[in-house]
Amino acid sequence: MTSSGGLRGYFVRSENARGFSLLAPTLILLVLMMVIPIIMLVARSFWTQSGMIETADFSLVNYQMFFEKKIYLYVLGKSLLISGSVTFATLILAYPAAYFVAFRVKKNKLIWLILITVPFWTSYLLRVFAWKLMLGYNGVVNSGLIGIGIIDEPLGFLLHNVNAVVLTLAHAWAAFAILPIYVSLEKIDKSLLEAAADLGEGPIRSFLRVTLPLSMPGVIAASLLVFIPTVGDYVTPKLVGGSSGIMIGNLVTNMFGRGNNWPMGSAIAVMMMISITLVVCIYLWLISQVKKRSN
């Protein structure tokens, strides 16, 4: 080390310079491809467009329109509500299954984990497509019900509505939610539960007082993992939602496509990000309040 002076010596000595020079290509790429584009998106939302002409002057016109025309707020509210229902449904579905694998399965856990995650690794588009086959007018559910003799005519209300969107999204994301919950349940020291049982706690009480609080980090991670991406989903509402199941992601995409109003589309995207951040903050605050209460 004594002989290495100059630049090389500087790199060996200074962890700052070394760390940054090695990380530089990565950081430059991410700043270039994520940070700058998002800044450009926010900047674009203050532009205006009339007809084919875009004006690059600062203006709040798009945001004014967002709050004045009821459709935008309505679709944003509906998207948040749909994603909230999807998150709730996935937690209700995934928690018991994760619990089962963590506590009841003794042998071949790996096979169970593979079985749970295979649907997640299959193409998302195909899972949505599969639900179109299930719920369609000539779909599996209708043919099944007619076959049994419960109905004579196919039911038209299965597809192209909000329920179909929730059902499909919950199916697509359930496997994603199960992993963090499973990991947090797996970490719980089983002797705590045995201690609770020895001290005369019933299974439900010991679940509410020991297992559930200890698995909360997994539940929170799972709900954020499902909520944040589903708010802006495009494919599911487009393929199974029909006109009543339209979501905010469809409005954004439309503005960048046929609608050809990029500034308005940018403003909708910005409002979507702000509202997701707000909902997540309120959710985390509520959980911290509940924790304080129970302590």
Partner 1 sequence: MSDHMNETKNIMKKKKILPVGHFRGLGAWTFAFFIYLYVPIVVLVFYSFNSNRMVMNWEGFGISWYLKAFSNNNIQQAVLNSLIVATVATACATAIATIGALVLARGGSFKGKTLSLGLITLPLMVPEIVTAVAVLIFFSSIGMNLGLGNVIIAHITFCIPFAFMPIRARLEGMDTTLEQAARDLYATEWETFRFVTVPLLMPGIVAGAMLAFVISLDDFIITLMVGGAGSTTLPVYIYSMIRRGLTPEVNAISTVLLFFSIAIVTAYWIVSKKSQTKTVH
Return the C-alpha torsion angle 151, 154, 157, 163, nearest 10: 80
E strand or H helix at 54, and its extent? strand 53-55
Q: Give the N- to C-terminal CA distance of the chain in Å, as an integer.
A: 56
- From candidates 2, 3, 50, 138, binder to partner 1 by CB under 8 A: 138
Per CB under 8 A, contacts with partner 1 among 105-124 are: 110, 113-119, 121-124
Nearer to partner 1, 32 or 286 (CB): 32
Residues contacting residue 218 through CB under 8 Å, at least 6 positions apart: 98, 180, 181, 182, 183, 184, 185
String marking each residue 24-43 x if it binds partner 1 according to CB under 8 A: -xxx-xxx-xxxxxx-xx--
With contacts defined by CB under 8 A, how many residues of the chain interact with partner 1? Answer: 86
Residues 218, 270: Cα–Cα separation, whole Å: 29
Supply the minimum distance, in Å, between the C-beta of residue 208 and partner 1: 12
**Given candidates 65, 130, 214, 221, which one binds partner 1 under the rule CB under 8 A?**
130
Cα 286-233-75 angle, rounded to 5 deg: 75
Other C-beta atoms closer than 10 Å to the C-beta of 218 total: 25
Query: Least distance in Å: CB of 36 to partner 1?
Result: 6
Q: Restricting to residues 145-204, which ones interact with partner 1 according to CB under 8 A?
A: 171, 174-175, 190, 193-194, 197, 203
User: In the range 235-274, which residues lie near partner 1 by CB under 8 A?
Assistant: 235, 239, 249, 252-253, 256, 262, 265-266, 269, 272-273
Of 73 and 103, CB closest to partner 1: 103
By beta-carbon proximity to partner 1, the closer residue of 162 and 232 is: 232
Looking at the Cβ atoms of 162 and 267, the one nearer to partner 1 is 267
Residue 230 CB partners (closer than 8 Å, separation 6+): 82, 83, 86, 87, 169, 173
Cβ atoms 287, 216 nearer than 8 A: yes
Per CB under 8 A, the segment of 58-66, 70-78, 130-138, 156-164 that binds partner 1 is 130-138
Residues 44-103 that bind partner 1 (CB under 8 A): 44, 93-94, 96-97, 99-103
Residue 172 near residue 213 (C-beta atoms within 8 A): no
Which residues have a Cβ under 8 Å from the Cβ of 211 and sit 6 or more positions away?
99, 185, 188, 193
Q: Which is nearer to partner 1, 257 or 295 (CB)?
A: 257
Q: How far is the CB of 13 from partner 1 (least distance, A)?
A: 11
